[in-house]
Structure 1
Amino acid sequence: MTTPDFVVIDVETACSRVSSICQIGIVGFRDGREVFAYETLLDPCDDFHAMNTRIHGIAAHHVIGQPTFAHVHADIDRHLTGRVTVAHSYFDKGALAAACRVHDRAMIETVWLDSVRVAKRAWPDLPNHKLGGLARYLGITHRHHDALSDARAAGWVIVKAIDHTGLSLADWLAPPRKPQPPPRAAPAGPLKGERIVVVGEARDGAIAQALAAQGGTIMSAVGLTTTMVVVADHLPDARAPRASAEMDKAAAARRAGRAIRIVSARTPGLLDDDAGAIVGG
């Protein structure tokens, strides 16, 4: 088996006890492609609750004769130990640890990476970062609440985040940097008096710095005094981040008659000395 850069795990549980794993899926990725997949149903040695079965479709009769977690622990350990393991939220990490305790097996020693955290940094303007919504947005084939499909989709989220941001797997594993204050507005300039929210980039990013250098005051969110929303230039146009909460707030304010301009960072003159030539979006 090709040694993966990272593996992804997803589990489904039979009831409210997180140790009650009834399906597990693991997918390995290397160089931006899938290199192995492992999936099995498990007898959770626990009750099946109707709500859980409604979610994933697995019932008690589906796991008759299937292995228990104790039986597959060695396989899971072989796939995960000593590697980077991705999970979409840390539910799967907690479930794996709980199952190890209940079945009296050694804890899996791996380095965990939360693909929810990755997605929030890579695509901050999405309304939420649930796996189903991310799969639709990124064009990933996905069948929700199937452990193998969920693991595969979360792996592709990581691959696409690396491609989208240019950050390596090591970068994503590093602790996120503390938010920096927005750049201070220059005392004069063509944007003096403008109160600006930048959508699609950190408020201390290059676009915000360029706007502040021209006198604009950078705000963290659209508020009553906001006069302009600037859409980062990696988005195709001002309509692209329709789901963005800040764009939605700005659009609602415009409908209410407030004078908020929504412009692309690509607007000619916006990020240079001719910024006074901007026209409202």
Structure 2
Amino acid sequence: MTPVDSPTDTAGALPPDFVVIDVETACSRVSSICQIGIVGFRDGREIFDYETLVDPCDEFHLFNTRIHGIAEHHVVGQPTFPDIHPLVQGHLTGRTTVAHSYFDKGALAAACRIHDRPAIETTWLDSVRVAQRAWPELASHRLGMLAQHLGITHKHHDALSDARAAGWVIVKAIDHTGIALDEWLAPPRKPGPAPRPAPDGPLSGERIAILGQPRDGPLACRIAALGGRIVSAVGNTTTLLVIAGRAPFAYSVRNSGAFRRAEQYRRLGGTIRTVSEQELGLADMVPGPAAA
């Protein structure tokens, strides 16, 4: 644990680009915070971390203890939420705060209310929503699944480890997509219409669904320029499912809804094929305008 008394890095230099928070709770009341972890990130690296057990001033339920391993005797003599509120407030106020789902946001708000402490004013970013946009092909965007997929060291239901893993999800999503932090804070852009197919080309007559990119993305433009018609989802008239990315048949892709639907149609006698963009020879093509 590296406690930090001010929301700057240990060298006292620039503040974090964003902080990540995770909490564990003692019982079904979300205000019953019994552990809290905070990690600060700047320029794609960790610059501080903070973790503490918390006396929730509430009862412990066996269900919760089985999940995170924290029991009543572990928090004897530990600070209460009012004790740590100033430090948490100092780290989060005026910053972008990441949490994996908004459970932690709700727990923090409830704890402030129950313990009569000021609400913490921060800008929240849900790393689940970020992961869903960055890796839409994944069958699950739970933190454990993401950590395994992205090669992040992770101990589930440990507040500091969960916070650290969620922070690395953000760092890797920025690197993977090129979408900057402030852009993630904006509402997600709805895909525009699919590009119109060229009147002829090697993909003329094909009805093509794409897994891993939006229907108006660069891969769709390359397909349309070769005469392929982009469809929004795999259906019984789809002839090709094209998988974007460098590892097109990873476990997460094979367990996606689009891949499973394509397999089902094939078993029922459909002619749909599943191929990667590399197999179509599209991976290195520069997107060009499709025919109007």
Same fold at TM > 0.5: yes
Distance, in Å, in 1 between the alignment partners of 2:215 and 2:65 is 44
Whole-angstrom distance in 2 between the partners of 1:172 and 1:269: 31
Report the count of equivalent residues. 271
Q: What whole-Å deviation, never above 9, does each CA across 1:238-266 have from its counterpart, x for those lacking one? A: 45722322122223333443211222212
Asked if residue 205 in structure 1 is aligned to residue 226 in structure 2, the reply is no
Give the TM-score taking structure 2 as reference length. Answer: 0.87
Structure 1 match to 2:147: 135
| Structure 1, unpaired ranges of 5+ | 273-281
Is 1:144 the counterpart of 2:140? The answer is no
Whether 2:36 is the aligned partner of 1:24: answer: yes
Q: Measure, in 2, the Cα distance between the counterparts of 1:122 and 1:231.
A: 15
Q: How does 1:58-137 map onto structure 2 within 5 Å?
A: 58-137=70-149
Q: Of residues 227, 232, 235 in structure 2, which corresponds to 1:223?
A: 235
The residue type equivalent to 2:45 in the other structure is R
Q: What is the CA distance between 1:211 and its match in structure 2?
A: 1.9
- 43-52 or 117-126, larger mean C-alpha shift: 43-52
Root mean square deviation of aligned Cα = 1.8
1:235 to 2:255 alignment: no
Which residue is 1:40 aligned to?
52
Give a deviation string over 1:106-165, Cα, whole Å, max 9, x none.
111111111001101111100010000000001111010010000000001011111111
- Aligned AA (1:109): E
The TM-score normalised by the length of structure 1 is 0.90
Q: Is the 8 A contact 1:118 1:161 kept in 2?
A: yes
Please name the residue that 1:278 is paired with: none
- Shift of the 254–243 alpha-carbon distance from structure 1 to 2, 3 Å rule, reads same
In the superposition, relative to structure 1, how do residues 221 and 17 fare at CA in structure 2: closer, same or farther (>3 Å)? Answer: same
Match of 1:181 among 168, 193, 197: 193
- Report the secondary structure of 1:121's partner residue: helix
Shift of 1:74: 0.3
Q: Deviations over 1:185-225 (max 9, x none)?
A: 34544433211111111111121123233332212221111
| Aligned counterpart, 1:275 | none
| 1:12 counterpart = 2:28 | no
Separation of aligned partners in 2, 1:82 and 1:186: 50
Q: Which amino acid aligns with 1:69?
A: F
Q: Identify the range of structure 1 (206-215 vs 125-134) with the bigger mean alpha-carbon deviation.
A: 206-215
Closer, same or farther: CA 153–238 of 1 in aligned 2, 3 Å:
closer
Inter-CA distance 239–44: structure 2 relative to 1 (3 Å threshold): closer
- What's the offset of the Cα at 1:47? 1.4
CA distance in 1 between counterparts of 2:86 and 2:195 reads: 52
Instruction: Rate the CA distance shift 1:24–1:206 in 2: closer, same or farther, 3 A.
Output: same
Counterpart code for 1:181: P
CA distance in 1, matches of 2:127, 2:271: 38
Identity between Structure 1 and Structure 2 (%): 68
Task: Choose from 199, 205, 213 the match for 1:193.
Answer: 205
- Report the Cα distance in structure 2 between the residues aligned to 1:31 and 1:185, rounded to whole angstroms: 41
Q: Distance in 2 between matches of 1:87 and 1:186?
A: 44
Range that drifts further, 66-75 or 245-254: 245-254
Which whole-Å CA distance do the structure 1 matches of 2:93 and 2:282 have between them? 51
Unaligned runs of 5+ in 2: 1-7, 10-14, 286-292
